[in-house]
Structure 1
Amino acid sequence: MGIRAALAVHPDSGRGAAARIADAVAARLRTEVDRLDLLAANTVEQSRALMTDSRAAGLDVLIVLGGDGAVHQAVQFCAGTDVALGIVPSGTGNDLARALGVPASPDAAADAVAGALRSGSRRRIDLGRTGDGTWFGTVLCSGFDAAVNARANRMRWPEGPRRYDLAVVAELAALRPGRLTLDTGSERWHGEAILAAVGNTGWYGGGIPICPSASPDDGVFDVTVVGKVPRRTLARLLPSLRSGKHVHHPAVRTLRARSVELSCDGWPAYADGESLGTLPKRVTCVPGALTVLGQASG
């Protein structure tokens, strides 16, 4: 029996980019599978319903054409199952795709997915899981960076990266450190902090290596905490996030852990760029929870 696959398309991803290339991507993938179902949805509810119907019919591979939000929903669907995940990035962040070495170009990514389907290449990666059962593939963040994400999501203008830049400026003006408690089971830290990030992979926010040493197949999280600093110091520290050099700043603490509990009154929490409410949150690294298309690392 051959491969049965589904292509989940989120037409609004990348300001309509996914919709424009969906037919070409589907045509490329059909050459490597026996059946390809096209699942087009712009809401979480529609997406879940279509994925559930495909799984009931016997699904081997789910391929996502979209951004981090679309991939996040696919992770919820594929985690802990034998359904393999493939990614053709067409959003603005594409952080899980980046961590897995997926080409940034949708055309090149579609070719890579087709090649993996043809060769049968698979690898298993870790996922993070919250106490309520939500899975995440990249980073769970809280504090300043999560507040920036939330503010940017509320803004209707401007389009593109400029919106995030303005959200950063607004949140800097409103900056208030929080009393954070971080508990790994073997280590407990309590103090004033600006942000905390728990990384299954290294990147968030469209390529910011907040946890630059994180690996999706080592069975542990990398955790980055930025302690209390003045606004001007944080403003100078922010550009170093793009290079990963922030981990050398004296206000930054890093550690590794299999499980982490974060507590800080009122702090929002985001994972894979999606809102998870507010702290407290306990998250656990689940080794090998997701099968993805592609060669094993190392």
Structure 2
Amino acid sequence: MPDYPIGYEPIGTVALLTNPRSGYGSARHATERALSHFNKRGVESVAFTAMTAEDNGRLIRQALDDDDFDAIVVCGGDGMINSALQETADTGIPLGIIPAGSGNDTARHFRIPMDPGAAAEVIADGFVTTTDLGRVSDDNGQSKWFATLLGCATDAYASRRADSLTWAKGPNKFTLAIAREIIRPTTHTYRFELEGVRPIPFLSDAENARRIARDGEIPDDGRVVIERQVGMATFGNTRCFGGGRAVCPRADHRDGMLDFTIAELCNPLMYVRYFNDFGSGNHADVPFVTSYRCRRARVECPAMRTAAHGDGEPLMRVPFTVEAVEAAGRYIVPAP
């Protein structure tokens, strides 16, 4: 097992990156609140403005090269956190979060306060935890990191649609987008080659029975191949996306594994009937859900016309390999 160090670390100087357009402009106010709290706590902060993911990456690389900062702090949503992870993953530098986005699923998972002042206090306290991250790689050697979940099917199309719903705010944006997609779900055939498959602890008898009926028992070599049309197909390092929808309710960010949830293709009315149970993580009685836990997976779907989305951002087109990378992420979080 890898080492997952946790504990207090001195936070004297931080690089604070903000996209003022995040959260429909709320990030600007959140940044001002955070800077005020840092000043009161004696934390020196250098503020940077990043209007795009490219700006964010360039500024973080600059901050890392300077080697003057105890932590990188982002004020924004899951997309901005994702762009920061592309630079901070596997470096040992802790990432602090001032939530100011639409879904804020990364912050929710780590119990980071939504109030920017309280979130800044957490960063100043300096309790750091180590976690796994997800990594998706194409056949050309290009890789992207993600913190929460990676959507590969209708969930990817829904994330793309949510980006276009500029008039909708907060978690309602993704709810509307997924509702639109399940009315006319895509009917592509996917191939998933799962490796290192293990049983999910505490999975209900009903869920286990559905999995066995569809795909058989888990073989001794831990390799499972699934090839069929599916509705949603989500790999989870953490539990939720879309503003708190627990699609992978048993995912553990410190087990070196990804949970894999399939929402089987079915009548759209079935999705509507069980929509709240599915989103709340109560999958025991949801007949179209199949769940796995694996170390890595190969995903293929020649007909898919959008990229798989991780942390709500387009990351990689099929075919690709997705895997859990142990102890690759470090976050500043509330002390337990």
Same fold (TM over 0.5): yes
1:72 match: 82
Residue 265 of structure 1 pairs with residue 302 of structure 2: yes
Does 1:276 find its partner at 2:315?
yes
TM-score of the pair, normalised by structure 2:
0.81
Following TM superposition, by how much is the alpha carbon of 1:157 offset from its aligned partner in structure 2, in angstroms?
3.6
Deviation at 1:75, TM superposition (A): 1.1
C-alpha distance in 2, partners of 1:168/1:295?
32
Alignment of 1:22-61 (within 5 A): 22-32=31-41, 35-58=44-67, 59-61=69-71
In 2, distance between residues paired with 1:27 and 1:201? 31
| CA shift for structure 1 position 252 | 1.1
Cα pair 1:221 1:259 within 8 Å, conserved: yes
Q: Deviations over 1:162-214 (max 9, x none)?
A: 54444334323322332121111311112221110000000100110000001
Measured after TM superposition, the shift of residue 104 of structure 1 is: 2.2
Task: Kindly provide the amino acid, as one letter, of the partner of residue 237 in structure 2.
Answer: N
Residues 1:237 and 1:262: Cα distance change in structure 2 (over 3 Å): farther
Q: What's the CA shift string for 1:30-67, capped at 9, x where partnerless?
A: 44566321111111122122112111111320011111
Match of 1:174 in 2: 184
Deviation at 1:95, TM superposition (A): 0.7
What's 2:129 paired with? Answer: 123
Which consecutive residues of structure 1, in runs of 5 or more, have no partner in the other structure?
none
1:227–1:252 Cα contact (<8 Å) kept: yes
Q: Secondary structure at the match of 1:201?
A: coil
Q: Please report how far the alpha carbon of residue 221 of structure 1 lies from its aligned counterpart in structure 2 after TM superposition.
A: 0.6
Alignment of 1:231-270 (within 5 A): 231-246=268-283, 248-267=285-304, 268=306, 269-270=308-309
Classify the secondary structure of the residue corresponding to 2:283. helix
Aligned in 2, Cα 1:86/1:227: closer, same or farther, shift over 3 Å? Answer: same
Q: Look up the match of 2:149.
A: 139
1:91-130 alignment, distance < 5 Å: 91-116=101-126, 121-130=127-136
Is 1:198 the counterpart of 2:235 in the alignment?
yes
| Helix, strand or coil at the partner of 2:161 | helix
Q: What are structure 2's unaligned runs of at least 5 residues?
A: 1-9, 196-222
Report the alpha carbon displacement of residue 152 of structure 1 after superposing the two structures with TM: 2.1
1:9 corresponds to which of 10, 18, 36: 18
Q: Relative to 1, partners in 2 of residues 1:14 and 1:279: Cα closer, same or farther, differing over 3 Å?
A: same
2:271 match: secondary structure: helix
Which amino acid is 1:276 matched to? L
Identity among equivalent positions (%) equals: 30
Quote the Cα distance in structure 2 between the aligned partners of 1:30 and 1:266.
53
Contact 2:237 2:324 in 1 (8 A): yes
The Cα shift of 1:246 comes to 3.1
Kindly state the Cα deviation for residue 87 of structure 1 after the two structures are TM-superposed: 0.7
Matched residue type, 2:322: V
The answer to whether the Cα contact below 8 Å between 1:84 and 1:292 also exists between their aligned partners in 2 is yes
Task: Return closer, same or farther for 1:220/1:277 CA change in 2, 3 Å cut-off.
Answer: closer
Amino acid at match of 1:135: W
Aligned AA (1:288): A
Q: Is the 8 A contact 1:5 1:33 kept in 2?
A: no
SS at 2:37's partner residue? helix
**Which residue does 1:18 correspond to in 2?**
27
Give TM-score, length-normalised by structure 1. Answer: 0.91
Paired residue secondary structure (1:249): coil
SS at match of 2:32: helix
With 152-161 and 204-213 compared, the bigger mean Cα shift is at 152-161
Aligned partner (choices 81, 86, 103) of residue 96 of structure 2: 86
What amino acid maps onto 1:11 in structure 2?
A: P
**Match runs of 1:183-222 below 5 Å:** 183-185=193-195, 186-222=223-259
Cα 1:36/1:210, change in 2 over 3 Å: same
Instruction: Tell me how far apart the structure 2 counterparts of residues 112 and 296 of structure 1 sit (CA, whole Å).
Output: 8
- SS of aligned partner of 2:274: helix
